[in-house]
Amino acid sequence: MDLGRLDRSVLDTLLPPGRHPLLGLGLSETGFELFLEDFNRAAPPHLRRAFRLGLLAAGWMAPLLVRRLPPLTRLQPADREAALTAMAVSSVPELRQLVSVLKSVISLHYGSLPAVRQSIGYP
């Protein structure tokens, strides 16, 4: 699966570079695309679909939750973060679940990186 500009915008907003002093890597700097190839081969179909749907909803629906026009790529970084936060705390359970799926898939990749594991003191 190739990540488009909108998909990258969503993912980079969820895990931007320099967000934490110990974990300076952002998702765009970690080879997420290679992980995504393995994920698409090994993950259950319903999880792959939920991930794609989460990217779609975050890109096109999240801006509407903060009264901005989609897509997410049109927004400034602070507004992007506000839009995804609004989606994560939405009163619509499906939107909250889709954000959880996005964060879970990102975490599977990020937590497997040797530099990240070393930074947090995990063997």
- Record the tokens describing residue 95, joined without a space: 């939107």
Q: Look at residue 1 and tell me whether its pLDDT is greater than 80.
A: no
Amino acid at 39: F
Per-residue pLDDT tens digits for 49-101? 999 999 999 999 999 999 999 999 999 999 999 999 999 999 999 999 999 99
CB atoms within 10 A of CB 77: 11
In angstroms, the CA 39 to CA 47 distance is 10
* 98 or 21, which is more confident: 98
pLDDT value at position 24? Answer: 81
Asked if residue 65 lies in contact with residue 87, where contact means CB atoms within 8 angstroms, the answer is: yes
Question: pTM for this structure?
Answer: 0.93
46's tokens: 């319903």
